[in-house]
A and B are shown apart, each in its own frame.
Chain A
Amino acid sequence: MKGNQRYEQGEAMTVQSNPTGVTTELDCSGLLCPLPVYKAALVLNKLEDGALLRLVTTDPGALEDIPAMTRQRQDTLVSVEEGADSQTFLIRKGIAS
């Protein structure tokens, strides 16, 4: 693979996964810092306030980076789950009222 394709993995997909609305899914498995934050931000920038993003990462640094990202962006980290080799973050865009 050449050029941008190398980090093009992790295209956002929109799925119906909760009763109240749509959750966007982003798989950043295999990507190292700063790519999970970079790609999550690209997706979050396009979402409406209150929309949900489920982000999967394998970079161990993401456990610190994603909470830092939501704090700095003033988004809301709804939940964090740590699997054997991956982490799953549920993020709501904006500050929950």
Chain B
Amino acid sequence: MTQTLEPLSEIQPEPTEPRSRPRRIALVASKGTLDQAYPPLIMASTAVSLGWEAGIYFTFYGLDILHKDRFENLKVASLANPSGPIQLPNILGAVPGATAAATKVMRKWMSDARFPTIPEFIEMTRDLGVTFFACSTTMGVMGVEKSDLIEGADIAGAAAFLDYAADADVSLFV
């Protein structure tokens, strides 16, 4: 049984004139937990699917999302995370193994939903031309080398990102 929704004119206004330049989103990814790594990658992959340009500035723990040895093993915090996948009294969040257990649960959720992993999202967004900025200060402070990062990451400072973001229509900090 199917039913046609409201008239299309209400869903989709008259198409606008072609734009002089594509829309652009500039994202900052500042967190390195599994749950916080997804949103900037989801937003960026959606933006390029809409025909926008997208760039993500990976800074502080967010740089782990570009780290070859770490991006497959991002974790969900069990401590101080009342929304975590395992509902525990906070004190138990510090028990050895609790972080691993919470991570395992979230991985299973994602896998059951046939949702891409973080490395798969990186590949999808890179293939679509998303710009990856790797924060040079984070690399210096945390001892991360260019060879530690996935291919295609541009090492850049805040000025280079702001130069990109100055022409963005949407900017988000995650």
CA distance A9 to B147 in the complex (A): 34
- Cβ-closest chain A residue relative to B41: A34
CA distance A68 to B13 in the complex (A): 10
A82-B8 in contact given A38-B124, A74-B16 (Cβ < 8 Å): no
Beta-carbon contacts under 8 Å, A53-74 to B: 63, 67-74
CA distance A30 to B52 in the complex (A): 26
- Cβ-closest chain A residue relative to B120: A4
Beta-carbon contacts under 8 Å, A20-47 to B: 30-35, 37-38, 40-42
CA distance A42 to B1 in the complex (A): 29
Chain B residues within an 8 Å CB radius of A88: 2
A77-B11 in contact given A7-B114, A38-B49, A84-B1 (Cβ < 8 Å): yes
CA distance A16 to B124 in the complex (A): 30
Chain A residues within an 8 Å CB radius of B152: none
CA distance A16 to B116 in the complex (A): 32
Does A81 count as interface, using CB distance less than 8 angstroms? yes
Query: Once the chains bind, are B11 and A34 in contact (CB under 8 Å)?
Result: no
Query: Once the chains bind, are A34 and B15 in contact (CB under 8 Å)?
Result: no
Chain A residues within an 8 Å CB radius of B3: 81-82
CA distance A73 to B120 in the complex (A): 24
Query: Once the chains bind, are A82 and B2 in contact (CB under 8 Å)?
Result: yes
The residue from B12, B45, B113 contacting A71, defined by CB atoms under 8 A apart = B12
Closest 7 CB pairs of A and B: A41-B49, A72-B50, A81-B2, A34-B46, A6-B114, A95-B15, A67-B11
What residues of chain B have their CB less than 8 Å away from a CB belonging to chain A? 1-5, 8, 11-13, 15-16, 18, 23, 42, 45-46, 48-52, 111, 113-117, 120, 124
Q: List 9 A-B contacts (CB under 8 A).
A: A4-B116, A31-B114, A37-B46, A38-B124, A42-B49, A67-B12, A70-B12, A76-B12, A88-B2
